[in-house]
Amino acid sequence: MANPEMLKKIIAHAKEYGFIFQSSEIYDGLSAVYDYGQNGVELKNNIKKYWWDSMVKLNENIVGIDTAIFMHPKIWTASGHVGAFSDPLIDNKDSKKRYRADVLIEDHREKIQLKINKDVDKAQKRFGDEFDKEEFLKTNKRVLDRQAKIDSITERFQNALNNDDLDDLKQLIVDEGIICPVSGSKNWTDVRQFNLMFDTKLGSVSEDADKIYLRPETAQGIFVNYLNVQKTGRMKLPFGIAQIGKAFRNEIVARQFIFRMREFEQMEMQFFIRPGEQEKWFEHWKNLRISWHKALNLGSEGYRFHDHDKLAHYATAATDIEFDFPMGFKELEGIHSRGDFDLSQHQEFSGKKLQYFDPELNKSYVPFVIETSIGLDRMFLAILSSSFKDEKIEKADGKTESRIVLKIHPALAPVKAAVLPLVKKDGLPEKAREILKELQYEFNCQYEEKDSIGKRYRRHDAIGTPFCITVDHQSLEDNTVTIRDRDTMQQERININEVKNIISEKTNMKNLFEKIENR
Ligand code: ATP
């Protein structure tokens, strides 16, 4: 559920502990652009690895590539981005703030849905065990009225989007009495389309320079290399090509931290299939992707599928996996059935055949495509926000204190173990560094000797380090250390030889991969 206070806490925490900084901060920042700090980059790399390996390493028919950000400008005409990669924008004349008209309407609809949820909660409390949610939703007058409102907004909204009827989009905002959250007024401009692509010039002599675009998605790099990969990899249908890389969009409204950035990273996979098999493969990838998410244990209540209000004209099906971010349920990943649109367009615009010879059918055709597309930064935010816990803990003397802990899955945690000498003398730092050296071959570890051991534990809780290894005087005598578990805070004395195995067992990504169902 939307929780703006939580978002503020997470932004502050992300900065304080070296996860995310505003870009160009000492120059007062650059809007909707962010830098990843020393812990952020580790978490980001681990998320990439979880995605990449689950696609490329665990599927014998998926390979990865890494294509350039700059591409031939014709590509963006062929793909439809020059003509239609735009969002409907609207300005409030009083606050001078700019909004996406579709997002204003979606948020308004979501507010009505939240009222229904509240009605359900209240009734549940009143009736207790007797409560029948299904029956309540079907019969309660107030709920039915609210649902009817949602349905009528959805119908009109979809019609306006599908017919590119910008006037009616505005009228819907007016008729629903949607106000600007800043000025509180309903004084709106007309709705206009705004193209989201950044452009620049290629070439040193400005008169001859060609206008080129910063790619707004990584997918086109995959499509234009379809034949290269298919031929050189001797790939047989069905097969997939995966890519992780930067994308750029001049977003109209870029708020909400790393949820909506102007420079961001995508992890996309295009799965090439035989025409006619799209329904089967769409279902397959829907199931596989939600299972990939759920393996992380971010809370199974936190996901829902949302089918698109407007299908791209070539698409036969499209759904979003939405996640319950601190701003409410929002798109985290898209799964799209794209038909043969992309390859056919590139075939036409480039004049090169982009087909597949199917030996079983003994004919050539342009393959169909199922796409899975997830924002790396949004995934980062999903993990950060759901693993952030403000816990009250009871101390031995009966008093309580609080601790902030990031309960990130150990396989994704930026630092796997901290090695801490109890004191800065008596040979303990030397012993601790010896252990560190051995662990560094396999894990990202940190050595820390400053501050009390309690403070050091708290610092590592705050960045999600699963293990703290403490070296004390006894370690010098019997080769043992204490190992502290981040989640239970239990400490156990173990032989130094066991440390590596314990860390390895808990932080191994295999633990995640094994939980992905229907692989
Ligand atoms: P939205 O409706 O939120 O603008 P979209 O439908 O335009 O997103 P896609 O074009 O399907 O998004 O892009 C695929 C994925 O890329 C999205 O699911 C999202 O995770 C990510 N993404 C898109 N735009 C941004 C952005 N501006 N900042 C961060 N991630 C983004």
Which CATH number goes with the domain that contains 418? 3.40.50.800
Residues 259 and 395 in one domain: yes
Dist. CA 56–CA 513, nearest whole Å: 12
Ligand 1 centroid vs 254 CA: distance in angstroms? 12
Distance 375 CA to ligand 1 centre (A): 6
C-alpha 106 to ligand 1 mean position (Å): 16
Does residue 366 carry a pLDDT above 90? yes
Nearest Cα neighbor of 260 from 269, 244, 247, 245 is 247
**Start-to-end CA span in the chain (Å):** 31
Residue 430 belongs to some domain of the structure:
yes
Strands (E), 196-344: 199-202, 210-213, 239-248, 263-273, 303-307, 317-325, 328-339
386 & 415 share domain: no
Asked, for residue 331, whether it belongs to a domain, the answer is yes
Average pLDDT over the chain reads 93
Name the residue at shortest CA distance from atom 20 of ligand 1: 375
Atom from ligand 1 closest to the CA of residue 333: 18
- Residues contacting ligand 1 via CB (< 6 Å): 217, 249, 251, 260-261, 264, 266, 331-334, 373-375, 377-378
Task: Report how many domains make up the chain.
Answer: 3
Same domain, 151 and 202: no
Percentage of residues of the chain with pLDDT beyond 90 = 85
Say whether both 359 and 423 belong to one domain. no
> 């309660």: which residue's tokens?
140
- Residue 205 — pLDDT band, cuts 50, 70, 90? low
Give the position of tokens 């050091």: 456
What does the pLDDT look like over 171-188, one tens digit per residue?
999 999 999 999 999 999
pLDDT at 129 over 70: yes
**Cα–Cα dist 277/305, whole Å:** 21
Q: Is residue 78 part of a domain?
A: no
- Please say which residue of 401, 422, 441 terminates a domain: 401
Angle, in degrees to the nearest 10, between helices 166-175 and 101-127: 40
Contact 186, 45 (CB under 8 A): no
Residue nearest to atom 30 of ligand 1 (CA): 375
Residue with the smallest CA separation from ligand 1 atom 24 is 260
In a shared domain, residues 376 and 281: yes
| Residue 189 sits in the same domain as residue 153 | yes
Does 104 lie in the same domain as 246? Answer: no
Is 331 within 8 Å of 65 (Cβ atoms)?
Answer: no
The residue whose CA has the least distance to atom 2 of ligand 1 is 331
CATH code: domain of residue 216: 3.30.930.10
Beta-bridge mates of residue 251: none
Asked whether residue 76 is domain-assigned, the answer is no
Same domain? For 218 and 293 the reply is yes
The answer on 317 and 171 residing in a single domain is: no
- 268 CA: nearest ligand 1 atom: 14
Q: Are residues 191 and 202 in the same domain?
A: no
Residue pair 354/366 in contact (Cβ under 8 Å)? The answer is yes
In which order are the strands placed within the sheet that holds 480-485? Answer: 445-447, 417-421, 467-471, 480-485, 491-495
Q: Is 519 inside a domain boundary? A: no
pLDDT digits (tens, 9 = 90+) for 306-326: 987 777 777 789 999 999 999
Q: Specify whether 342 is located in the same domain as 453.
A: no
User: Exposed, middle or buried by CB within 10 Å (0-12, 13-18, 19+), for 411?
Assistant: buried
Q: What is the pLDDT of residue 207?
A: 63
Burial (CB count within 10 angstroms: exposed 0-12, middle 13-18, buried 19+), residue 194:
middle
CATH classification of the domain holding 185: 3.30.40.230
Q: Residue 412 Cα, ligand 1 centroid: separation in angstroms?
A: 23
User: Do 201 and 180 have their domain in common?
Assistant: no
Q: Which residue CA neighbors atom 8 of ligand 1 most closely?
A: 331
Our mutation pick for probing the ligand 1 site, out of 51, 331, 336, counting the most ligand atoms within 8 A of Cβ, is 331
Q: Which domain holds residue 264?
A: 1-70+196-401
At 63, which helix (H) or strand (E)? strand 62-64
Query: Does residue 498 lie within any of the structural domains?
Result: yes
Domain-ending residue, one of 401, 425, 451: 401
Query: How many other β-carbons are positioned within 10 Å of the β-carbon of residue 303?
Result: 18
| Boundary (domain end) residue, out of 144, 161, 195 | 195
